[in-house]
Structure 1
Amino acid sequence: MTSTPPAWIVWSLRALATAHLAGVLAQAALAGLFVTGDVDLLIWHRDNAGVTHVLLYLQLVAAILLWRPGRGAWWPAAASLGLVALETAQVGFGQSRALGLHFPLGMAIFGLSAVFAVWTWRAFRHTAA
């Protein structure tokens, strides 16, 4: 990074990355409950997917702001864009019932989202105000 980005951008990115991660975790829990027989949770899984996807697009906006005009690193925007691509594929696999692809991709999305959220909290320790 070339300079310390404004705190409001850092906090926006942290909040959105953390909310997105929570949505991804909820997706896994809802999927697990659905496959054990509670078929009503498939609707919740679908609706939570929409909310989680919107949170990711907002995370992408915050990551772009971190880069320009925030003068931060460019890679969080690229990583967020990569997650958008993966989640878009995830939605397609889920809608087509390609569960052999949907389940492992969901696990990968969870791992990548967790790493990204942790990074937002560790990278800017001195940008708290």
Structure 2
Amino acid sequence: MNGIIWTLRLSATGHLAGVLLQAALAGMFVTGDVGMLAWHRNNAGVTHALLYVQSVAAVLLWRPGRGPSWPAWASGALVAAETAQVALGQSRVIAAHIPLGMAIFGVSALLTVWTWRTPSQAARAGRAES
């Protein structure tokens, strides 16, 4: 169980860092550094891959781990939102791309804070039920 919690913590933290870097790279791109668009695109791939690791860890914490289900559902919602985010970005629908990015950041931040505050309690509750 401890390995699942640490995997969730580290992948959520890495994902959040990637999401924050996305905003910084986008800011540099829109202010004239055109080369940052490639970095923005590449960072999106790494960030999305970390989200898949986070999603698997959240499901494992929930199902076999008997932890709460909402981190798995939130991670799934983030997968859907980031998939839409990629489509919006590639289509240059910036009016939707930027606010969705802000929402992704907010959910990612809440989930990451939770991973560092309470999964140990969820793990203890799971062991107590066994």
TM-score under structure 2 normalisation? 0.91
CA distance in 2, matches of 1:66, 1:91: 28
CA contact (8 A) 2:22 2:44 kept: yes
What's the secondary structure of 1:17's corresponding residue?
helix
**Alignment partner, residue 32 of structure 2:** 37
What pairs up with 1:1-129 in 2 under 5 angstroms? 6-125=1-120
State the Cα distance separating 1:125 from its structure 2 match: 5.0
CA distance in 2, matches of 1:11, 1:43: 31
Give a deviation string over 1:6-30, Cα, whole Å, max 9, x none: 1111111000000000000000000
State the Cα distance separating 1:82 from its structure 2 match: 0.4
CA distance in 2, matches of 1:70, 1:76: 12
CA contact (8 A) 2:5 2:120 kept: no
Give a deviation string over 1:42-94, Cα, whole Å, max 9, x none: 00000000110010011000001101211111111111000000000000000
TM-score under structure 1 normalisation? 0.91
Q: How many residues align?
A: 122
What's the secondary structure of 1:30's corresponding residue?
helix
Give 1:44's aligned amino acid.
Answer: W
Give the CA RMSD over aligned residues.
Answer: 1.1
